[in-house]
Amino acid sequence: MHKPTILSTILLLLFCVHVGFAENTIRINQLGYLPNAAKTAVFLSDEKIHIETFSVYNTLSDKKVLETKAQAANAEIWGKQSAYQFDFSELTSEGGYYIVAASTKSPSLRIAGDVYNGTADYILNYMRQQRCGFNPFFEDSCHVHDGIIVDHPTRSGEKIDVTGGWHDASDYLQYVTTSANATYQMLFAYQQNPGVFGDAYDANGLPGKNGIPDILDEARWGLEWLLKMNPGKNEMYNQIADDRDHRGYRLPTEDTVSYGLGNARPVYFVTGKPQGLGKHKNRSTGVASTAAKYTSAFALGAKLFTQIDAAFAAQLNTKASDAWEFAMSDPGVCQTACVVSPYFYEEGNYIDDMELAAASLYQASGDKAYSQQANYWGELEPVTPWMELHRARHYQYYPFVNLGHFLQAQSSDPAIAKKYQALMKQGLEDIKRYAADDPFRIGVPFVWCSNNFVVAAATQARLYRELTGDKSYEKMEAALIDWLFGCNPWGTSMICGLPEGGDNPQHPHSSITVLMNQTTTGGLVDGPVYSYIYESLRGIQLTKEDVYANFQNGKAVYHDDIGDYSSNEPTMDGTASLSFVLSSLEAEGQKETDLTNCVKDKEGAIIRMDTTQANVYLIFSAHDFNDGGETIANTLKQRNVKASFFFTGSFYDHASNKNLISQLIRDGHYLGAHSDKHLLYADWNRRDSLLLSRDEFESDLTANYRKMEKAGIDISSATYFLPPYEWYNQSIADWTSQLGLNLVNFTSGIRTNADYTTPDMKNYKSSELILNDLKEKEKNQPGMLKGAMILIHLGTSEKRTDKLYNRLDELIDFLESKEYQPTRL
């Protein structure tokens, strides 16, 4: 018998330990929590653990700020032995925190009013990426020969110009069903929350402002395509291409799939009857579901574009009326068509479409006849069926949320308003009932596109709460949002790339991922599916080790893997449906933060404070030089000016700097962090390439704060952080945010930061040149320094004898002469 070696014995023991390893984890919303919102984290364990209380600690100080009771939940649902809800809603102070229970520590989480800032615009990245025709992501055009009419009684084979719109998902099919809904959802989001959307792109989706919010540019892209697909009265088309498209990974600009129509693709005429060019047919029964979706999008578009483009709005208004007449002429569902397989969008209800169409027409025109129609159709389907039944075939009950009920619930007739508010409540009650004792409070069916159901439920919950003030479903609403950002069994966000540096889909089922090695930024992935659905699917083959393997033993599974087309494929309409929820959260947060008018750069750092005020922020940084500290401190004191200082931990810790730090604290200046060891976070040449891990970043920064606290600084108020070398990326900005801090940097275009350069450098800038450049820019653009942050180094190399800090008095004179107020953060 072979005698085991010491090494083999150790390996055997390690294997046994690994096999028996029990994992505890605390799931959180990775983006963070609004101060006054419901806040819950979820604990999961592979062991039977009894937890009475959990504790919350401030991340920077490690001080306990809350200890409260834990709530047990049903762990078996997700294949675990123990599960608890940690409700910390009573904690409303802004900052960074972590949770501890059963010797388990959560990742850092943030409470702040700006945690959702920019998210509603962020998802538009995916919508632009999905554009057909000219695609700004590729800066090229695709499918410019669309298309050839099919299934028309007299015009099959004719050419029709329908280039435009969006590709539906990772394939290149295009459906009015989903595109009209996506268009309406974006218009609705803007109507409800107009103040949160920015203007950084033009109508073609390329960088550059055009005076119109980007979400309206995107919605118009959809409206213009819908106009092409509805070229004449009672002439509508429902679909471009079909499932013959499914022929492997390829970029849209290099699509070589042939339909036997030359370079064109088939364009399906709306017949109102079962449709399909091969042996497989859908089960269409009328035109109403499609025609009503046209109506809603056109009607809301007409209302919102009246002040922007009156002629366009008038065209949409006429089209809305015509589409409504067509919908009324042939009630029934108009489903999508297939050829090679019997799979299609099985829309089985049209009543919700009719209600929304009539309600939208009433909102646009004020004609009470439409209000009566909306009420008629609304009473026929009191609750969206999936909410009541907890099941659905693929897109059977679509759209997933009936916004018609919301429009009706706003009626000036109290009886109508009360009725539809009650119906909205009934749907929410059904969802809550199915959630039962699920630790994540999730009561949606985990069929394909489960994330769309999550968004729909969150949308209805929020609209109901805003309408009525009833907070009965507030925790469920928050849990639905938290689910999308990581408070789920897998601990992952369901939106590609968001948050940057967090756990989010990096390997979505998409040709862009396969061929370009990129994630589909901003796209909402399908989401978890029931285990039995996943196990029954064909063609799924994971391409890498499943990092979530220990969390796949519950009722649903999810994989961040290109090979899983069931749970990890981003969809255009699902992404668009996020517009309202995210914009509402952003709008709510704006009421709770003083950073509303700040400007951030594309990496996520604040580079300009409130642009409506004539304040200028002088900021000074230091790591290993302090030759100007005394001069700066004395000048500021003489001029009665407060400023902001950012020092590394090494600087705070050095004995020679103690007196200066004490003086700055006494004089009322802001003192903040600049990292502990002045590390370089990102590659100089590849900014998106990190040079350290998240743990290394957090350890370095928290060490900086420990030394600040030791120096006598109230770190709870030191929430701004200037990164070393003023060099960072989106991951650093997001990691900073999770610690409860705000990343800041100097305002671009102001060259004072070049005061470190020495005469032997090619980029040397003298103090005279720096100051003259600043004065000239302000002269040419008066007011350009509002909210600006002007960076000056506390000290520089001895090679530079021309010290900018020696001219600080002159700089303050200039700023005050232009009626700016130098101040601190």
Degrees (nearest 5) of the Cα angle 431, 434, 440?
A: 85
- Rounded distance, CA 590 to CA 16, Å? 52
Structure confidence by residue, pLDDT tens digits, 603-636? 989 999 999 999 999 999 999 999 999 999 999 9
Return mean pLDDT, the chain: 94
Which one of 3.30.70.260, 3.40.47.10, 3.20.20.370, 2.30.40.10 gives the CATH number of domain 599-823? 3.20.20.370
Structure confidence by residue, pLDDT tens digits, 690-716? 999 999 999 999 999 999 999 999 998
Structure confidence by residue, pLDDT tens digits, 472-510? 999 999 999 999 999 999 999 999 999 988 999 999 999
Residue count (the chain): 825
CB neighbours of 817 closer than 8 A, spacing ≥ 6?
none
Across 364-384, average pLDDT: 96
3-class SS letters over 151-170: CCCCCCCCECCCCCCECCCC
Question: 592 pLDDT exceeds 90?
Answer: no
Across 425-442, average pLDDT: 97
Question: Where in the chain are all domains bearing CATH 2.60.40.10?
Answer: 22-111
User: Residue 701 burial (CB < 10 Å; 0-12/13-18/19+)?
Assistant: buried
Task: Work out the percent of the chain whose per-residue pLDDT is above 90.
Answer: 92
pLDDT at 6: 39
pLDDT at 506: 95
- Rounded distance, CA 498 to CA 506, Å? 10
Degrees (nearest 5) of the Cα angle 684, 690, 695?
A: 140
Full-model pTM: 0.88
> Which has the closest alpha carbon to 231: 201, 267, 200, 264?
267
CATH number of 22-111: 2.60.40.10
Question: 13 pLDDT exceeds 70?
Answer: no
Q: Greater confidence, 95 or 18?
A: 95
Question: Where in the chain are all domains bearing CATH 1.50.10.10?
Answer: 119-589
Structure confidence by residue, pLDDT tens digits, 51-72? 999 999 999 999 999 999 999 9
- Rounded distance, CA 21 to CA 468, Å? 48
Contact present, 87 and 128 (Cβ < 8 Å): no
Question: 37 pLDDT exceeds 90?
Answer: yes
CATH number of 119-589: 1.50.10.10
pLDDT at 21: 56
Structure confidence by residue, pLDDT tens digits, 719-742? 999 999 999 999 999 999 889 899
Q: 74-78 — which CB contacts under 8 Å span 24+ positions? A: 74/436, 74/437, 74/438, 74/439, 75/44, 75/45, 75/439, 77/438, 77/439, 77/554, 77/555, 78/44, 78/439, 78/489, 78/551, 78/553, 78/554, 78/555
Degrees (nearest 5) of the Cα angle 760, 765, 769?
A: 145
